[in-house]
Structure 1
Amino acid sequence: MDVFPVPDLPEIRPGDSLAALIDERVDLRPDDVVCVASTVVSKAEDRIADLDAFPAGPRAHDLAAGLERATGEEKDPRFAQAVLAESADLLMEAPFLLTETNFGHVTVNAGIDRSNVRGGDLLLLPEAPTESAARIETGLDADRVVVTDTCGRPFRHGQRGVAIGWAGIPAARDWRGERDREGRELGVTVQAVVDELAAAANLVAGEGAGGTPAVVVRGFEFGDHAGSDALFRDVEGDFVRQALHEWSFEAE
Structure 2
Amino acid sequence: MELFAVEGLPEVRPGDDVGELVAERVDLEEGDVVCVSHSIVSKAEGRGVDLSEFDPGPRARAIAERIGELAGEEKDPRFAQAVLDESEELLTEEPLMLAVTRFGHITVNAGIDRSNVPDSELLLLPEEPSASAERISETLDAPVVVTDTSGRPFRQGQRGVALGWAGVPAARDWRGESDRDGRELGVTVEAVVDELAAAANLLTGEGDDGLPVVVVRDFEFGDHEPHDGLFRSSGGDYVRDALREWEYDKQRLRDSDEDESDGDHQ
Task: Normalising by structure 2, report the TM-score.
Answer: 0.93
Q: Distance in 2 between matches of 1:40 and 1:32?
A: 20
Give the ranges of 4+ consecutive aligned residues of structure 1 lying more than 4 Å apart after TM superposition. Answer: none
Corresponding residue number in structure 2 for 1:178? 177
Aligned-pair CA distance for 1:59: 0.9
Aligned-pair CA distance for 1:120: 1.6
Q: Which amino acid aligns with 2:73?
A: E
Q: Distance in 2 between matches of 1:69 and 1:241?
A: 26
Q: Which amino acid aligns with 2:57?
A: G
Corresponding residue number in structure 1 for 2:115? 115
Q: Distance in 1 between matches of 2:101 and 2:131?
A: 15
Deviations 1:206-248, CA, capped at 9 Å, x for gaps: 1211141000000100111111110011111211111111111
Structure label with greater radius of gyration = 2
Q: Does 1:241 align with 2:240?
A: yes
Aligned-pair CA distance for 1:178: 0.5
Corresponding residue number in structure 2 for 1:23? 23
- Runs of 5+ in structure 1 lacking a partner? none
Q: Does 1:127 align with 2:135?
A: no
Alignment of 1:6-155 (within 5 A): 6-141=6-141, 143-155=142-154
Q: Does 1:230 align with 2:232?
A: no
Q: Distance in 2 between matches of 1:118 and 1:13?
A: 10
Q: Distance in 1 between matches of 2:99 and 2:210?
A: 26
Deviations 1:120-147, CA, capped at 9 Å, x for gaps: 2110000000000000001004x20000
Q: Distance in 2 between matches of 1:231 and 1:210?
A: 29
Q: Distance in 1 between matches of 2:73 and 2:35?
A: 36
The secondary structure found in structure 2 opposite 1:34 is strand
- Runs of 5+ in structure 2 lacking a partner? 255-266
Corresponding residue number in structure 1 for 2:262? none
Q: Which amino acid aligns with 1:21?
A: L
Deviations 1:78-118, CA, capped at 9 Å, x for gaps: 10000000000101111111101111100000000011112
Aligned-pair CA distance for 1:50: 1.0
Q: Distance in 2 between matches of 1:21 and 1:93?
A: 39
Q: Does 1:159 align with 2:158?
A: yes
Aligned-pair CA distance for 1:204: 1.2
Deviations 1:162-212, CA, capped at 9 Å, x for gaps: 000000011010000001101111000000000000001011111211141
Q: Does 1:203 align with 2:202?
A: yes
Q: Which amino acid aligns with 2:211?
A: T
Identical residues among aligned pairs (%): 65
Aligned-pair CA distance for 1:65: 1.1
Q: Distance in 2 between matches of 1:186 and 1:34?
A: 30
Q: Distance in 2 between matches of 1:205 and 1:145?
A: 15
Q: Aligned-residue CA RMSD in angstroms?
A: 0.9
Q: Distance in 2 between matches of 1:113 and 1:55?
A: 19
Deviations 1:39-98, CA, capped at 9 Å, x for gaps: 000000010111111100111111111111222121111100000000001011111111
The secondary structure found in structure 1 opposite 2:69 is helix
- Name the count of aligned residue pairs: 251
The secondary structure found in structure 2 opposite 1:210 is coil
Q: Distance in 2 between matches of 1:35 and 1:201?
A: 7
Corresponding residue number in structure 2 for 1:4? 4
Q: Distance in 2 between matches of 1:67 and 1:205?
A: 31
Q: Which amino acid aligns with 1:138?
A: E
Aligned-pair CA distance for 1:30: 2.6
Q: Distance in 1 between matches of 2:30 and 2:131?
A: 19
